[in-house]
Amino acid sequence: MIIDCHMHVEWLGHSADDAVRHLDDIGVDQAWVLSWQDKDAGLDLYQYLHLSPESVMRACRKHPKRLIPFCGIDPRRENAHGILRELVEQGCKGYGELKLRLMADNCDLIDMYKLCGKLKLPVLIHIDVPLPHTGMWYAGGVDALERALIQCPQTTFIGHGPGFWREISGNAARAKAGYPRGKVTPGGKLHKLLAKYKNLYADLSANSGLNAMKRDVAHARKFLARFHRKVLYGTDCFTRDHLDFLESLDLDRQVFRNITGRNAAKLTRR
């Protein structure tokens, strides 16, 4: 079974039915469907109408064997814990996508992570760092993520985004682009974090994950072979690019299967 760990529906014109047709077209069995909720966004319909937990649950109820719901409740919402518990009773299998301008070890988030640990929900978190051309940031970088990992050892975290994947290389602090180019240099924080923390996984989706692999294909093969039990295939888009790239690497059969489905299946088996 192949599972895409990062999909959004009712987004950029793609309905739940479109998503399932896309999965059929590219040979993928299931997908995690993620929300994006940010209290700071106010009444931004992009998030609250199209990427709300409610729209995620509706889509997944329509295709329960193909789409798996994840709901990232903003921890600052009134009764956030109660809302998450209710969604779990309705079939929610994970917490995310978390894409907030809060440090990853914010006190409200720590409380939510601990609840997720009790409920056996994996937490998928988008990490980004401020760059001169954007100024945007989410979660505060991998150092804040590490502090959360230490405080919540019973909670499974899945890292995603430019601020996460740039740390595959030892020269990440000097990179001035969201998607750095060039060979991966030794000493990347991501290697250390994945090796040290049993509760940390990595989501290959979006340009960030694919760029981290394609920038140095020889390194990608070694990285995936080493961390194949901790890496998840995902797309965050409606293309086959990520799967095509993984297939092009001619990975060991077990390595490929773990990355493309077994790891994801394990994390949502409650």
Structural domain count, the chain: 1
Asked if pLDDT for residue 236 goes beyond 60, the answer is yes
> Which domain does 249 fall in, by range?
3-267
CB 233 within 8 A of CB 243: yes
Tell me which residue has tokens 């030794």.
186
pLDDT, averaged across the chain: 93
Report field, pTM of the whole predicted structure over 0.85: yes
Residue 214 sits in a domain of what CATH number? 3.20.20.140
Residue 166: φ, ψ to 5°: -65, -25
Asked if pLDDT for residue 107 goes beyond 60, the answer is yes
Confidence at 50, pLDDT banded by 50, 70, 90: low
Task: Tell me whether residue 181 is exposed, middle or buried, using C-beta atoms within 10 angstroms of its C-beta: 0 to 12, 13 to 18, 19 or more.
Answer: exposed
The pair of structure tokens assigned to 21 is: 């047709």
